[in-house]
Amino acid sequence: MLWKVFRLVIGLLCGYLFVFSLSAIFPFQSEEFLGEFILNPFEFLAGAVALVFGMYAIGGLIRDGGVAVISAYKGNKNLVPDVIIAITCLGSFFLLSPLGAWQTAVFFVFCLLYGMMSFSSPEGRKES
């Protein structure tokens, strides 16, 4: 459980870094974007790395929440903390949205896609 809270905090910090590093390019124009990428590649690289790590952290929590909801629907009631953390993950996007709406939307979509792609049903898993 502590590991999941740690992943939530890391995902929120990575989301903040992603939004902060790409906030300088608000009215998106391809010339400015390429110019910033060429002249200041460290900031762009930091944002890309933050996107990947945040996507991994938050997407995994969304996946665990989805598995917990399916398990709870089938009768397993001891996975309620996973559902609460998944809802908190979705709430963390509301914390990031005042900093940059479109950056937060991009971050949310990538996290949601990763969470859905890594989803597998509980009975489909085989212990090895």
pLDDT in tens, 8-58: 999 999 999 998 887 655 666 777 777 777 887 888 888 889 999 999 999
Position 33 in a domain: no
**Domain housing 50:** 2-28+42-120
d(CA 50, CA 68) in angstroms, rounded, equals 27
SS3 at position 37: helix
pTM above 0.85, yes or no: no
Number of domains, the chain = 1
Q: Quick check: is 79 in a domain?
A: yes
Q: Is residue 67 part of a domain?
A: yes
The tens digit of pLDDT for each residue in 68-92 reads: 888 888 887 788 888 888 888 888 8
Which residues touch 91 (CB under 8 Å, ≥6 apart)?
none
